[in-house]
Structure 1
Amino acid sequence: MSSPLGGAIGERMPLDAYYADFEQHFWQSADLGFWKLERQQTFQEPGYDSWEAFARGDWGESLRLLEAGRAEMDGYHRKVDRHGFVARRVRVVEEPLSHYLQWELHALRIRSECGGPTRIVRADQVSQFESEAPLPEIYTLGSHVMYQAVYDDQGILESARKFVDPELILHCQKFIQGLYEVGEPLEDWFGDHVAPLPPPCRTSV
């Protein structure tokens, strides 16, 4: 079995145009909600204060900054709720965890506690869909638009692809939802797989 995109390419968008387009469409997702699939195990997020602290090796400060952002995250998801939908995520994980993913799962745990639920799916649970390539980083916004994040060789977001085919969007939304339904809630998974880990070393971002 192959990628849920089925060979579709979409419209390539530079970051500025993508950010504006996403902001416009995100708040109109009430019919099917927001569904995001995250597959890649390592990214870089320059400009995000907690990630910057993690990247320079200050694990304690990184976690402190995540916690300091809890109120803002809670307010964001309250706004999502007022718009009539939930922002759900599926996070594919490979173990042992990359140090980036160790950090990200701390961030996603706070997001989940604030109303943006995440479910964990093991890499072996999606291997049947990866005969040609890893699953894409895709997210559906209601029934009217979907994006694929495009990263450079360093794992930094460089652009996005936009899809507007209703049948493709519905197919991908159902694909992500299917993974979500077989996944384990992050809150349950975190205690055994993330919480016991020592702080990641500085050279392994």
Structure 2
Amino acid sequence: MPESLTADPQVFDEVRASDGRLLDRAAYHADAKALRESPELTGDVWKLERSQRFDESGDEAWEAYLAGDMGRAIAIFEGERERLREQVARYRALGLRMRRLRVAEAPPSPYLRWEMHSHRVFVESGYDIAVLDAEQIRSWERGRPLPETMVYGGRVVYQVLYDREWAPAGAKRIDDAALAVRVAAAIAGLYERAEPFMDFYRREIAAEGAGRPWGREGLPARSGDPLARRIGPGAGLTSRVEGVRRR
């Protein structure tokens, strides 16, 4: 692997420190959608996910899980295939490839086990996802985890923001092409170290999870708590984007 792809962990500190335009959740989704549809933007769109839990309040599959009905949650994921395939085809027509790097601690958290069933449907519908063992980035983190990050076409970086309960709270948009190129290269280097999603899924989720109870460790005590109540007005939950879950 080229050394240039793996030698710049400090770039994520620069993401945190950079000035940017703060967007609430609805504004972030609208802004990113406009960016994806811009004819000037082509190539890879990278997403780095580090947290081992998120609060997905308002998502039907998440609410089913919290109610103890994992079968219904999986059925909801399965019902999204057609829309996901349409999304992949649309992105390809725009010259975009959506690539997601999911960092996973061992053993997988209850949230991650739930999410991986969704990711399986994403992968089988044409999305690119790989799973990186968290041990691979211990030396990169220096006391705090890598930020949740998206990079669009080597042009724009979004530091995706969450409240203290890990519910989505929008993003910081950083318009710095040089930084975007470096962040994309760093994520790409980690992606090359990562495991193909289906290999991870078969070993850690399908095989190991079959006999495990679906625990609630680290999950919210209850669902549906309005986000605005926790982080202030103007940041409330929005419906799914284009019919499929997307923080």
The TM-score range, normalised by the shorter chain, is over 0.9
Q: Which runs of 4+ in 1 moved over 4 A?
A: none
Aligned mates of 2:67, 2:149 — CA distance in 1: 29
Which residue, out of 164, 170, 192, partners 2:181?
170
| AA in 2 matched with 1:150 | L
Aligned to 1:4: 12
Which residue, out of 150, 155, 161, partners 2:172?
161
Work out whether 1:20 is the aligned partner of 2:30: yes
Q: CA deviation at 1:203?
A: 6.4
| AA in 2 matched with 1:11 | R
Aligned to 2:214: 200
| AA in 2 matched with 1:4 | F
Q: CA deviation at 1:130?
A: 0.2
Q: CA deviation at 1:83?
A: 1.2
Aligned mates of 1:133, 1:195 — CA distance in 2: 30
Assess if the C-alpha contact under 8 Å between 1:38 and 1:138 holds in 2: yes
- Secondary structure of 2:131 counterpart: strand
Assess if the C-alpha contact under 8 Å between 1:89 and 1:117 holds in 2: yes
Assess if the C-alpha contact under 8 Å between 1:56 and 1:202 holds in 2: no
**Structure 1: any 5+ residue segments left out of the alignment?**
none
Cα deviations by residue, 1:78-117 (Å, 9 ceiling, x for unpaired): 1111111210010000011111110111111111111111
Aligned mates of 2:19, 2:132 — CA distance in 1: 25
Aligned counterparts, 1:106-185, within 5 A: 106-185=117-196
- Secondary structure of 2:120 counterpart: helix
Aligned mates of 2:143, 2:107 — CA distance in 1: 23
Cα deviations by residue, 1:105-144 (Å, 9 ceiling, x for unpaired): 1111111111111111011101111004100000111122
Q: CA deviation at 1:19?
A: 1.7
Whose Rg is larger?
2
- Secondary structure of 1:195 counterpart: helix
Assess if the C-alpha contact under 8 Å between 2:110 and 2:217 holds in 1: no
Q: CA RMSD in A?
A: 1.7
Which residue, out of 74, 79, 82, partners 2:85?
74
**Structure 2: any 5+ residue segments left out of the alignment?**
1-8, 220-247
* TM-score, with length taken from structure 1: 0.93
Aligned length: 205
Which residue, out of 44, 48, 56, partners 1:45?
56
Assess if the C-alpha contact under 8 Å between 1:2 and 1:130 holds in 2: no
- Secondary structure of 1:72 counterpart: helix
- Secondary structure of 1:125 counterpart: helix
